[in-house]
């Protein structure tokens, strides 16, 4: 029996989202959570103690210099994703980076270039993309269960009451488009299997300058139209609704499906509920990266995929600045 | 006791929508259904016989010349609304005209001018506007039940399989925006109490040249954004969802509510279902016009209201022709 190789992970930051990764790393046969880093020694010690992580570092550089670590989970604020993912890869570490991989196409292209030059694996942590529900919806659409695709509606709204949240800081890549709008956009792109030709939207801008609410429209090749809304200042709503000329799929837990979830398909005047059992939400992205590193399997979220999502969001921001629809290059 | 004055109504055409008016006219103490007109004598006779209408006319002109008739229900194809509403008023008849009152602002202004000159009452048959549910939703929003208004979502889609339907004929004012898109647009305008500053949308154009599917976005003063979709080629969906920073109202029978209907309000993490008893759907528009003619009460749908809805739809069509968002004059 071949010896199992363990990937030793280091958490770059003590962000809340880390907690989502700890359980799947513990559950995995191929991964070990080895270290955590914070710019504050106290925070690093406290986090390591609370979560029983063997090693801690009081700087991000120290974590990247730790020879035992092979994989970095980059959960820094959005604007720091590119810089530290690049540094991690240049230090010989693979990277699972929180979405968005970067906050601009320019940075993304640098990240891709460094990945190519170093041979390191880097992929974006869009956990919903690994869940069985997402794969099933894609399969249903592709096999024609709802006929010809026409409309995709997405919503991801919540009320963010944490006033010091990095999400309100424009310098840190804040705003609801980057934080939650990225999901319905990613979902629509995944389902169409195509990239938007044009995007346009409107936002409510907060006192710090970030988009607190954004409602947008994406036009895909073949005339498929996607409308979405995302918000920090609206009561919670998460929904994807995918409509074809023969039916409609309604997904009430599209972005954070549980191990048991349900979706609805309407067709021929009938409404059917489909129960789905999936893996725990964040397990998929850990397994996906393990397979990429250990077995050379292409990650579920390719660089091109991340790039197109970021391009769409960048263009949606641009449409608000320029007060007009933005055309995107046909990819 | 004062003698009740009966308004004698004539149906201009034998369109299917007439059937909706027959029952409320019969039920009303103030109205009598007296005549029907068709350009085909056979059709007029057949319709009069089937619905036990005392008089029939084999031309629209003959109906307008009938001295007994005081009110015309104009259910002709959209493109003929202006011409025959004007002729009716010039013949001394009041008019209940199916929506849209006209298919252009230019025509609408002529209609308004003739109404002023003749002193006749003309109003648009938007039946949902008279239903208690609609009035209740407006009241809930106005009294702050969902906080500050942010987003309004509307959908009115169905599959139109009647290949000879006038709705597919561009020369007759066909297309899904005029037919069903007018509802979510009207609803959003009614709820905001304001007129859109900008509209933009995309459509799927059918072989005859009409919009078979339209998805659009309206921006209202104060940053309220409305997104809607309407379609002839999509499985049935009717929904309005009105979101504020404190809650959300979901209306599953927004345009054709029954005498018993329900709406949902989400607020403070709670979901409450509100049961509503309203009058039969088409009774409201008959009563509204009776009150306008007999008691001088302003109709629920003013000329300005009709004008602004038509202006929005005209601009949405224009946005597709010009491939850009269209600004509307601040009213």
pLDDT of amino acid A155 = 98
Summary mean pLDDT of chain B: 96
Minimum CA–CA partner of B323 in chain A? A325
Cα→Cα distances B81→A282, B87, B97, B107, Å: 59, 10, 7, 9
Place of tokens 């048991």: A260
The domain segmentation of chain A, as residue ranges, is 7-125, 128-281+310-327
B contacts of A219 (beta carbons < 8 Å): 202
Q: ipTM score here?
A: 0.94
Structural contact between residues A13 and A37, judged by C-beta atoms closer than 8 angstroms: yes
SS3 state at B209: coil
Beta partners for A36?
A11, A56
Interface of B with A in 247-306 (CB under 8 A): 247-248, 266-267
The CATH architecture assigned to B128-283+310-327 reads 2-Layer Sandwich (3.30)
Mutate to test the interface with B, among A150, A176, A247, A266 (most CBs of B within 10 A): A150
Q: Which helix (H) or strand (E) holds B136?
A: helix B132-142
What is the pLDDT at residue B32? 97
Q: Do B151 and A225 touch (CB under 8 A)?
A: no
| Chain B touched by A221 (CB under 8 Å) | no
Contacts (Cβ under 8 Å, ≥6 apart) of A314 = A104, A105
CATH for A128-281+310-327 is: 3.30.360.10
* Residue B231 pLDDT greater than 50, yes or no: yes
CB A313 within 8 A of CB A181: yes
Distance of CA A80 to the CA centre of its chain: 15
Q: Does A329 touch chain B (CB under 8 A)?
A: no
Burial profile A192-201: b = 16 or more Cβ within 10 angstroms, e = fewer: bebbbbbbbb
Of the residues B145, B148, B151, B322, the best mutation for testing chain A's interface (the one with the most A CB atoms within 10 Å of its CB) is: B151
CA-atom Rg of chain B in angstroms: 20
* Residue A211, min C-alpha distance to chain B (Å): 12
Q: At what angle do helices B18-27 and B283-295 cross, to 10 degrees?
A: 60
Q: Which residues of A touch B235 (CB under 8 A)?
A: 243, 245-248, 266-267
Residue of A nearest to B158 (CA): A245
Which residues on chain B are in Cβ contact (under 8 Å) with A264? none
Per residue in B124-171, pLDDT (tens digit) is 999 999 999 999 999 999 999 999 999 999 999 999 999 899 999 999
* Cβ separation A235–B202 shorter than 8 A: no
Q: What is the CA B276 to chain-centroid distance, rounded?
A: 21
Fold topology of A7-125: Rossmann fold (3.40.50)
**Beta-carbon separation of A202 and B213 below 8 A:** no
Residue A280 has pLDDT above 70, yes or no: yes
- Give the nearest chain A residue to B146 (CA atoms): A235
B93, B117 Cβ separation under 8 angstroms: no
Give the DSSP letter string of B240-272: EEEEESSEEEEESSSSS--SEEEEEEEETTEEE
Which comes out higher in pLDDT, residue B110 or B3?
Answer: B110
**Cβ pair A151:B215 closer than 8 A:** yes
Burial of B308 from C-beta contacts in 10 A (0-12 / 13-18 / 19+) = buried
Residues 171 through 200 of chain A touching chain B, CB cutoff 8 Å: 200
Instruction: For residues A153 and B150, give the distance between their C-alpha atoms in angstroms, rounded to a whole number.
Output: 17
Nearest CA to A199 out of A181, A180, A219 is that of: A219
Residues across chain B: 331
Among A216, A235, A145, A151, residue whose Cα is nearest residue B237: A151
Chain A interface mutation, best of B227, B246, B322, highest count of A Cβ atoms under 10 Å = B227
Confidence (pLDDT) at A329:
85
Side-chain half-sphere of B93: how many Cα atoms within 13 Å?
A: 29
A204 touches chain B (CB under 8 A): yes
- Read off the pLDDT of residues B86-104 as tens digits, 9 standing for 90 and up: 999 999 999 999 999 999 9
d(CA A186, CA A193): 10
**Pairing of the two strands A233-244 and B198-205:** unpaired
Chain A nearest C-alpha distance from B15 (Å): 26
What integer pLDDT is reported at residue B329 of this predicted model? 85
What mean pLDDT value characterizes chain A? Answer: 96
Task: Please tell me the predicted confidence (pLDDT) of residue A5.
Answer: 79
Distance CA B35, CA A227 (A): 47
| pLDDT of A324 higher than 70 | yes
Q: What is the mean pLDDT of residues B244-250?
A: 98
Peptide bond into A100 cis (omega under 30): yes
Closest CA to B145 of B209, B191, B180: B191
pLDDT at residue A330 greater than cutoff 70 = no
Using the Cβ of B319 and the Cβ atoms of chain A, whether some distance falls under 8 Å is answered with no
Q: Tens digits of per-residue pLDDT, A20-35?
A: 999 999 999 999 999 9
pLDDT of residue B5: 79
How far is the C-alpha of B182 from the C-alpha of B179, rounded, in Å?
6
Burial class (CB in 10 A: 0-12, 13-18, 19+), B284: buried
Q: How confident is the model at residue B3 (pLDDT cuts 50, 70, 90)?
A: low
Percent of chain B with pLDDT over 90: 96
CA dist A302 and A124 (Å) reads 8
**For residue A163, what pLDDT is reported?**
85
The β-bridge partners of B229 are B155, B215
Distance to chain B for A131, nearest Cα, Å: 27
Taking CB atoms and an 8 Å limit, are A213 and B151 in contact across chains? yes
What are the b/e assignments for B91-114, b being 16+ CB within 10 Å?
bebbbbbbbbbbbbeebbebbbeb
CA distance A50 to chain B (A): 31
Q: How many CB atoms lie within 10 A of CB A67?
A: 8
Q: Does residue A331 register a pLDDT over 80?
A: no
DSSP lists the bridge partners of residue B324 as none
Distance of CA A129 to the CA centre of its chain: 8
Q: Is B151 on the interface with A (CB under 8 A)?
A: yes
Residue B15 has φ and ψ, to the nearest 5°, of -60, 155
In chain B, which residue's Cα lies nearest the Cα of A244? B234
CB-based contact B229 A151, cutoff 8 Å: yes
Mean pLDDT of A222-238: 97
Burial class (CB in 10 A: 0-12, 13-18, 19+), A21: buried
- Contact flag B248-A266 (C-beta cutoff 8 Å): no
| Closest CA of chain A from B189, distance in Å | 18
pLDDT in tens, A153-204: 999 999 999 989 999 999 999 999 999 999 999 999 999 999 999 999 999 9
Q: What is the dihedral of CA A150, B231, A329, A242, to 10 degrees?
A: -30
Residue A270 confidence (pLDDT) above 90: yes
Q: Which long-range contacts (CB under 8 A, 24 or more apart) does A101-107 make?
A: A101/A306, A101/A310, A102/A310, A103/A78, A103/A79, A103/A173, A103/A178, A103/A310, A104/A310, A104/A314, A105/A307, A105/A310, A105/A311, A105/A314, A107/A81, A107/A82
What pLDDT sits at residue B1? 47
* Full strand arrangement of the beta sheet holding B211-219: B270-277, B260-267, B247-251, B233-244, B149-159, B225-231, B211-219, B198-205, B326-327
Predicted pLDDT at B163: 85
Query: Given an 8 Å threshold on Cβ–Cβ distance, is A200 in contact with B204?
Result: no
């Amino acid at each position: 029996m071949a010896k199992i190789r363990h990937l030793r992970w280091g958490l770059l930051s003590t962000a809340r989202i880390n907690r989502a990764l700890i359980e799947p790393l513990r559950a995995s046969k191929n991964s070990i959570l080895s270290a955590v880093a914070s710019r504050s020694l106290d925070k690093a010690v406290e986090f390591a103690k609370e979560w029983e992580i063997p090693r801690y570092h009081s700087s991000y550089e120290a974590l990247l210099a730790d020879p035992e670590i092979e994989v970095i989970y980059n959960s820094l604020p959005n604007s720091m994703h590119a810089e530290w993912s690049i540094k991690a890869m240049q230090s010989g570490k693979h990277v699972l980076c929180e979405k968005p991989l970067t906050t601009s196409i320019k940075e993304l292209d640098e990240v891709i270039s460094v990945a190519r030059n170093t041979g390191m694996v880097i992929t974006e942590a869009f956990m919903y993309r690994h869940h069985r529900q997402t794969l099933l919806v894609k399969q249903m659409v592709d096999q024609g269960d709802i006929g010809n695709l026409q409309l995709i509606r997405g919503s991801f709204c919540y009320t963010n009451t944490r006033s010091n949240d990095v999400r309100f800081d424009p310098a840190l890549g804040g705003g609801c488009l980057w934080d939650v709008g990225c999901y319905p956009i990613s979902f629509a792109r995944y389902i169409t299997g195509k990239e938007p030709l044009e995007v346009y939207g409107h936002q409510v801008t907060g006192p710090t300058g970030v988009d607190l609410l954004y409602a947008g429209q994406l036009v895909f090749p073949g005339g498929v139209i996607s409308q979405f809304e995302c918000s920090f200042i609206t009561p919670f709503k998460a929904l994807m609704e995918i409509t074809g000329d023969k039916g409609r799929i309604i997904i009430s837990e599209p972005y954070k499906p549980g191990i048991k979830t349900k979706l609805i398909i309407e067709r021929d005047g009938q409404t059917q509920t489909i129960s789905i059992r999936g893996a725990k939400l964040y397990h998929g992205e850990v397994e996906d990266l393990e397979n990429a590193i250990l077995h050379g399997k292409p990650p579920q979220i390719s660089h091109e995929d991340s790039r197109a999502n970021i391009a769409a969001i960048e263009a949606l921001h641009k449409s608000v600045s320029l007060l007009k629809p933005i055309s995107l290059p046909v990819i």
